């Protein structure tokens, strides 16, 4: 059963909040598109049948209308990154029944409203983590880290992680927010959004050379706030661990964020059909443990991951690790 919006669980109860709605299944990309509703249903089924199921609190995201009634305009939040022209183009496309935003990014007639609700869910996640001081997970789609200011890209419509980070600083008066992106693809949209932000750091591990062919080591942002670590195809946890221990964790500790947002893509799994990195689901639990050494204030938000089994088991592994803290 889903609880009421933004119900904060006491840390002493060791409950883990998950922000999710069946509405996210209505973003219809078609049977053969990799980013489809089955990704979410696989994760939900795995979590509800896992040993940690009694420790999960399922929460509906705040609706767009509810935000408006409380004085928060979701479109104003989206405009922190995206242009009004692009937002209007997505709405027009969906009002006409849907179509292609770019060569591999599809919108159905429901997608505009679903994408706005996804942004709202990420904002809910920020609020929950800051208020509780503990991690939470947003299970939403469409994903966001490839979306650019003027266009959707790579299955992504709105830049959820970037918008959430900007909103956290402006709405909640945080000083610094870090975004760690362990999706197998570089989050070019997120990087673009925070390139000139001294108060937002972006760190990415990603297969290279690979789509979208960005994320080179010399891309460091205007304030040295960006750390890109390209990973070779066939990399394993043995390759990732020294990267985390010697580069990412020290970078994060030095930045000292008030909030850590993880763009949690799980397409770096060995079984994933769209990439060639060889991580296992349990490895994401190991990476989570390292991140928790930086701060317990972590918002995980779903990005990629297209093998249903490895995707769902990776999410379980992440949450299991969070529950051990």
Q: SS3 for 268?
A: coil
Close Cβ partners of 13 (under 8 Å, ≥ 6 residues apart) = none
Distances (CA, A) of 119 to 20, 140, 243: 12, 9, 30
Token pair recorded at residue 68: 């408006």
Strand partners, 58: 2, 18
d(CA 102, CA 189): 14
Cα separation, 276 vs 270, in Å, equals: 7
Question: Under DSSP, is residue 286 helix (H, G, I), strand (E, B) or coil?
Answer: helix
- Count Cβ atoms within 10 A of the Cβ of residue 234 and give its class: 0-12 exposed, 13-18 middle, 19 or more buried: exposed
Measured CA to CA in angstroms, residue 220 lies from 183, 212, 214 at distances of: 18, 17, 12
Given 27, 82, 145, 146, the catalytic residue: 146
| Catalytic (active site) residue 82 | no
| Of 292, 264, 269, the residue nearest 125 (C-alpha) | 264
Query: Rg of the chain's alpha carbons, rounded to an integer?
Result: 18
Pairing of strands 98-102, 105-108: antiparallel
Q: Between the CA of residue 296 and those of 80, 247, 290, 325, what are the distances in Å?
A: 26, 19, 11, 8
Tokens linked to 131? 């208020």
Angle, helix 160-172 to helix 111-132, in steps of 10 degrees: 50
For tokens 């991140």, name the residue: 291
Catalytic residues: 146
């Amino acid at each position: 059963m889903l609880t009421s919006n933004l119900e904060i669980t006491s840390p002493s109860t060791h409950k883990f909040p998950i922000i999710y709605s069946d509405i996210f299944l209505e973003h219809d990309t078609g049977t053969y598109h990799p980013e489809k509703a089955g990704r979410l249903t696989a994760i939900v089924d795995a979590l509800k049948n896992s040993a940690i199921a009694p420790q999960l609190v399922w929460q509906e995201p705040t609706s767009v209308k509810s935000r408006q009634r409380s004085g928060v305009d979701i479109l104003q939040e989206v405009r922190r990154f995206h242009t009004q022209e692009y937002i209007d183009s997505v709405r027009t496309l969906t009002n006409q029944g849907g179509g292609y935003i770019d060569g591999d990014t599809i919108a159905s007639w429901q997608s505009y409203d679903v994408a706005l609700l996804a942004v709202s869910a990420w904002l809910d996640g920020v609020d929950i983590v800051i208020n509780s001081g503990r991690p939470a997970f947003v299970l939403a789609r469409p994903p966001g880290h490839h979306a650019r200011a003027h266009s959707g890209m790579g299955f992504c419509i709105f830049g959820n992680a970037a918008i959430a980070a900007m909103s956290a600083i402006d709405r909640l008066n945080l000083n610094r927010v870090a975004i760690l992106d362990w999706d197998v693809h570089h989050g070019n949209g997120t990087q673009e959004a925070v390139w000139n932000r001294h108060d937002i750091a972006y760190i990415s591990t990603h297969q290279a050379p690979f789509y979208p062919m960005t994320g080179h080591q010399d891309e460091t942002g205007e304030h040295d706030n960006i750390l890109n670590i390209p990973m070779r195809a066939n990399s394993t946890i043995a390759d990732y661990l020294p990267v985390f221990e010697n580069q990412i964790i020290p970078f994060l500790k030095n930045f000292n964020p008030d909030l850590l947002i993880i763009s949690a893509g799980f397409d770096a799994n060995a079984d994933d059909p769209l990439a060639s990195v060889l991580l296992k689901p349990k490895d994401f639990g190991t990476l989570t443990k390292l991140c928790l050494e930086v701060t317990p204030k972590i918002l995980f938000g779903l990005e990629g991951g297209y093998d249903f089994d490895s995707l769902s088991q990776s999410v379980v592994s992440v949450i299991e690790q969070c529950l051990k803290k």
